[in-house]
Structure 1
Amino acid sequence: MRARNRLSAKGAASLGEGKFADGAGLWLYKQDKERGKWVFRVTVQGKRREMGLGAFPDVSLADARRKADDARAIAQNGLDPIKEREKARRSAQRNLHLLNDIAVDAFEARKAELKGDGKAGRWFSPLEIHVLPRLGKMPVAEIDQIDIRDTLAPIWHDKAETAKKAMNRLSLCLKHAAALGLEVDLQAPEKARALLGKQRHEAKHIPAMPWPEVPAFYQSLNEGTVTHLALRLLILTGLRSAAIRFARLEEIEGDIWTVPAERVKGRKGATQPFRVPLSEEAQAVITEATRHARDGFLFPSVRKGVISDATMSRHMERLGLSYRPHGFRSSFRDWIAEATNTPHDVAETAIGHTVGGAVERAYKRTDFLEQRRVLHERWAQHLGGSSSMVVKLVAND
């Protein structure tokens, strides 16, 4: 057996340029008296290999011997210690990129394009609730279609929309990981869909009151409470509840209400506030609501902040109605389609939707304010029980 431990720590430090054997395959290559590197020479499957063990003097003689012992043990089992070290290094690298971390990083990268910078949690919650508890601690490079299938199978049919959102968010996380240079299976979500099969669940639309019935309900909201007034303004404007609930006095000037862009969901690609023409009836509702105003909000809650999303819904439930406040947008849109000759672009803009692609919007910047002013006035008249004669509106070129 070859001699071992030929060098001493003090002796290694005093050596000049050259190659010096410690024994059993461990060598010290010195560039000069101050610098060098440790090398382990080994023969694996008939091939001579040299494995670097670190720089001298950063790696001490004792540490170099321990590393050489570990590499020697691997070689004695017929494996290449250099290749095994690379495998371990790659494995450790993969483990640094767990899905938990990738998901958070992907969310941070998308915050700017989410409503309110994603503070409501709607983007992240499908992942947080249904994916990360099971897959969060897995290296993202190891996630395959079987993992995804097993994770989403419990909700695939019973909570179909939630499952779709979770699948979509997971797919975005994998794309984010790929952009970071990680080796991931971008097809895993689609393959998981194939394994899960077609969803049995059919999306249920929010119940909407037929537009001919809306006037009677509108006129029943006559108590002047915050809830009644909020419902009146929601019906009159065709806006979503968030825009109504967080309405502020300084946003309203005369017969124009300028709603901040982040409160008008559905205006994809829009970054500008949304102007809402206020009918005489809407202005009267706002005037009455100002006596309830607190901290600038038109519709404050009893204790703090503004009325909740469920406040208006509960009022309708107490009346035994199956319809929901959000459905009044459909009521308004159906009235436009069936009782007026309103051009499509004007009709869609009236309920806060953007129309046309990005290029078209760049050239066609009108918000059809004057046409919508007429439309909202006629809608208010319909709600008050006036004639429902057909309204003809012409879009501007």
Structure 2
Amino acid sequence: MSRPLNKLGARAVQTRPSGKHSDGGGLWLVKTDQKSGYWVLRFTIHGRRREMGLGSIAVVSLKAAREDATKWRAVAASGLDPIVERERLAREAARNLHLLKDLTDDCFEALKKSLKKEGKAGRWRSPLDLHVLPKLGKTPVSQIGQIDIRDALKGIWTTKPDPARKALNRISVVFKHAAALGLDVDLQAPAKARALLGAQGHKWEHIPAVPWPEVADFYASIGDGTVTHLALRLLILTGVRSAPLRFIRLDQIEGDVWTIPAQNMKGREGKTEDFRVPLSAEALRVIEQAKPLARDGWLFPSVRKGVISDATMSRLMERRGMKERPHGFRSSLRDWMAEATTTPHDIAETMLGHSVGGSVERAYRRTDFLAQRRAIMEQWASVVTGKTIAESSVADAA
């Protein structure tokens, strides 16, 4: 026989004296005095009688108490302990209250050691700090969807496409970090936001490069023996990026091999393999010319302190009215290998310090093709110095 429900009235809640008063169905009003009291739900689970507090009458109305009682009676009827289930839900809710700002901090700390320049001074997270966290930083990650991300970035999506793209990528990384922590987060939200934002209307352009047959003329024009000219000459001869070239140290050179520390190589963050660069006779001649200008172990020091800046070599080309930039000489080298030699793909990519193949393939292939690359570097030096631009073949070296 079912127990009668709703035996109390709203006025009774306020006027009943101290004591316990049943509303039916296991819901009880417990008055501590005529003005104060609280709600209790009594139920039996697995043969055990239990009481569950539902809140003070000052906060929880009679209607709300009855709704809670109905909900928890259904939980008990399903075989679950309402008290245990409520605690579980509370823990889950607390776990999902992590704010985007806090998750960004935690994610950045976890990534920082694997980042190269992006980790310095928080450059990795700056797109989030500038464009996302001011709007969404205090929002729990579990509550952030594609609409929120779209609204945060739509103001800069077409006007500042590069920061916007980076911000969206960083959000995706933070969301994956949150998911790894066990948080309830929509991993597809960044991709959905990208679809909602649409095209950026921005055409990405490759860095202009000097055509390889014209490199010799430019090389001949930078022969005044200054730090900038010598640095640019070595950059052209080795095909390396600007950063490792600018930070080259005398103790990194042994014989005709320059060993670049792994942390100075783009794309090798978190890895321990250094990168060996074979030096041609012309490259060694440039290094010998630069040694008298070296300071504090740096082969290409700046006028004041440290090494030459990233813009120093670019400014030289800019002042000459050239649209090409130093980084483009890597393309000049790559185009020469593709058009004028028979250099195998893997060796050509290794020449530029690119990773070749998947992780398993790289794990089994331990060679860095140093001997083959040494021969190619000598041929490239001949092209650069104008000794030959004739069609070459490195089939024997490969």
- With the length of structure 2 as denominator, give the TM-score of the two structures: 0.80
1:278 CA drift (Å) = 0.5
Match of 2:60 in 1: 74
Segments of structure 2 that go 5 or more residues without pairing to the other structure are 1-14, 21-27, 43-48, 73-85
1:150 Cα deviation after fit: 0.9
Change (3 A) 1:262 1:269: closer
Distance in 2 of aligned mates of 1:198 and 1:395: 48
SS at match of 1:74: coil
Q: Aligned-pair distance for 1:147?
A: 0.9
Contact in 1 for aligned 2:216/2:385 (Cα 8 Å): yes
Verify the 8 A CA contact 2:249 2:299 in the aligned structure 1.
yes
Report the equivalent of 1:17: none
Q: State the distance in 2 between where 1:370 and 1:188 align.
A: 49
* Deviation of 1:216 (Å): 0.9
**Contact 1:158–1:201 (8 Å) recurs in 2:** no
Shift in Å, 1:95:
7.7
The gaps in structure 1 that reach 5 residues or longer are: 7-20, 27-38, 54-67
Partner amino acid, structure 1, of 2:60: I
> Aligned-pair distance for 1:348?
0.7
1:133 aligned partner: 134
Aligned match of 2:211? 210
Structure 1 stretches (4+) deviating beyond 3 angstroms? 1-6, 39-44, 48-53, 70-73, 79-92, 266-270, 394-397
Cα deviation 1:217-257 (Å, max 9, x = unaligned): 11111111111111011111000000111000100011100
Q: CA RMSD in A?
A: 3.2
Q: Which residue of 2 aligns with 1:259?
A: 260
2:351 corresponds to which residue? 350
Alignment of 1:358-369 (within 5 A): 358-369=359-370
Give the aligned residue type for 1:304. Answer: K
Amino acid at match of 1:291: P
In terms of mean alpha carbon deviation, does 123-132 or 79-88 score higher? 79-88
**Contact 1:290/1:298 (<8 A) preserved:** yes
- Counterpart Cα distance in 2 of 1:292 and 1:5: 94
Q: CA deviation at 1:322?
A: 0.7
Change in Cα spacing, 1:78 to 1:218, as seen in structure 2 (3 Å) is same
Q: Deviations over 1:166-220 (max 9, x none)?
A: 1111012112212222222222112212211123212111111111111111111
Equivalent positions of 1:164-313 (< 5 A) are 164-267=165-268, 271-313=272-314
Instruction: Tell me, in whole angstroms, the C-alpha distance in 1 between the residues paired with 2:53 and 2:307.
Output: 66
Letter matched to residue 24 of structure 1: K
Mapped to 2, the partners of 1:199 and 1:116 lie a distance apart of 26
| Paired-residue identity, % | 60
Residues 180 and 338 of structure 1: CA distance in aligned 2, closer, same or farther (over 3 Å): same
Q: How many matched pairs?
A: 353
Question: Contact conserved, 1:368 with 1:395, CA < 8 A, in 2?
Answer: no
1:107 is the counterpart of 2:96: no
Matches of 1:364 and 1:214, distance apart in 2 = 33
| Rounded Cα–Cα distance in structure 1 between residues aligned with 2:133 and 2:364 | 44
Change (3 A) 1:89 1:230: same
Pick closer, same or farther for the CA change 1:43–1:374 going to 2, 3 Å. Answer: closer
Contact 2:29 2:38 in 1 (8 A): no
Query: C-alpha distance in 2, partners of 1:371/1:232?
Result: 22
